[in-house]
Amino acid sequence: MKVALLQHTPEPERSIALAARLCYSQVDIEALKEKLSGADVKKFLDKIMSLGHQSVLEHASFTFGVDGISRVTSHQLVRHRVASFSQQSQRYVSHKERFAVVTPPTISENPEHARLFEAQVAALHAAYGALVEAGVPAEDARYLLPNATETKIIITMNARELLHFFAVRCCERAQWEIRAMAVEMLRQVRPIAPTVFAKAGPGCLAGPCPEGAMCCGKMAQVREFFGEM
């Protein structure tokens, strides 16, 4: 898996602070922009985050390129509807030569499991290639492709949605692949907007575990990990 922050709102925290200050100011926008110092930005953002007034976070957006995730993970990812996605098409991109797959560690670390998995992938690949070779359109042959098939996707989320995404997907209860992706996304945005994402991560960082009886039981280790990130 490769995760890259491709671009983001220039000076995202300044944009957020400007939007927030505007709500309470009689000064025109240009004058307000000139008056807003770096210290003011952090002070105002600290107040916004502590009060939970997060609508202004929507003025900053972040675009990621993710390569080498499975369709299992991309199907989970697009459930986050306050976001934009552009995904490699299985209709227009043929996998006739060979489709790459993501193999879960629970399978790859066991020789017998790995053998069974690889045999099924090889059989599916042979069947897919034979159908395409026989003239079946890739858009129809793709019905054979497994959830393990690798894909590429570009994701754009605003800062508010990212905070929600991290709260849900950085959790130990999240599926391992999307959790790894979310943690890497957080690593990359935190230096860009350190005040906004200072406490970003699973829901248990700010209070009791939101999973209730389904809690992973590792809250201390989780808090230490994200605190040191």
Q: Find out whether 189 and 155 touch, Cβ atoms under 8 Å.
A: no
Is 76 found in the same domain as 158?
Answer: yes
Q: Give dist(CA 152, CA 225) in Å, integer.
A: 28
Domain hosting residue 140, numbered range = 102-147
User: Helices 12-22 and 38-51 meet at what angle, rounded to 10?
Assistant: 70
Neighbour-count burial of 74, counting CB atoms closer than 10 A to its CB (0-12 exposed, 13-18 middle, 19+ buried) = buried
Is 9 found in the same domain as 40?
Answer: yes
Residue 181 lies in a domain: yes
Is 171 found in the same domain as 110?
Answer: no
Is 75 found in the same domain as 9?
Answer: yes
Is 77 found in the same domain as 113?
Answer: no
Residue 214 lies in a domain: no
Q: Find out whether 157 and 165 touch, Cβ atoms under 8 Å.
A: yes
Is 187 part of any known ligand binding site? no
Contacting residues for 131 by C-beta, under 8 A, at least 6 apart: 140, 141, 144
Find, among 23, 83, 82, the residue nearest to 47 by Cα: 23
Is 43 found in the same domain as 57?
Answer: yes
Residue 40 lies in a domain: yes
Is 160 found in the same domain as 52?
Answer: yes
pTM over 0.75: yes
Is 176 found in the same domain as 80?
Answer: yes
162-178: average pLDDT: 97
Contacting residues for 61 by C-beta, under 8 A, at least 6 apart: 8, 9, 156, 157, 158, 159
Structure tokens at 69: 């995730």
Which of the residues 169, 173, 179, 223 is marked catalytic?
169
Is 179 part of any known ligand binding site? no
pLDDT band at 18 (very low <50, low <70, confident <90, very high): confident
Is 62 found in the same domain as 22?
Answer: yes
53 has pLDDT over 90 = no
Query: Residue 214's Cα: distance from chain center in Å?
Result: 23
Residue 134 lies in a domain: yes
Is 5 part of any known ligand binding site? no
Is 91 part of any known ligand binding site? yes
Instruction: Based on the residue annotation, tell me whether 187 is a catalytic residue of this protein.
Output: no
Look at the chain and report how many structural domains it folds into.
2
Is 88 part of any known ligand binding site? yes
Is 59 found in the same domain as 6?
Answer: yes
Q: What is the pLDDT of residues 105-157, one digit of tens each?
A: 999 999 999 999 999 999 999 999 999 999 999 999 999 999 999 999 999 99
* CATH number reported for the structural domain that contains residue 17 in this entry: 3.30.1360.170
Is 117 found in the same domain as 52?
Answer: no
> Taking phi first (over 0 means left), then psi (-120 to 50 degrees means alpha), and beta for anything else, what does residue 217 get?
left
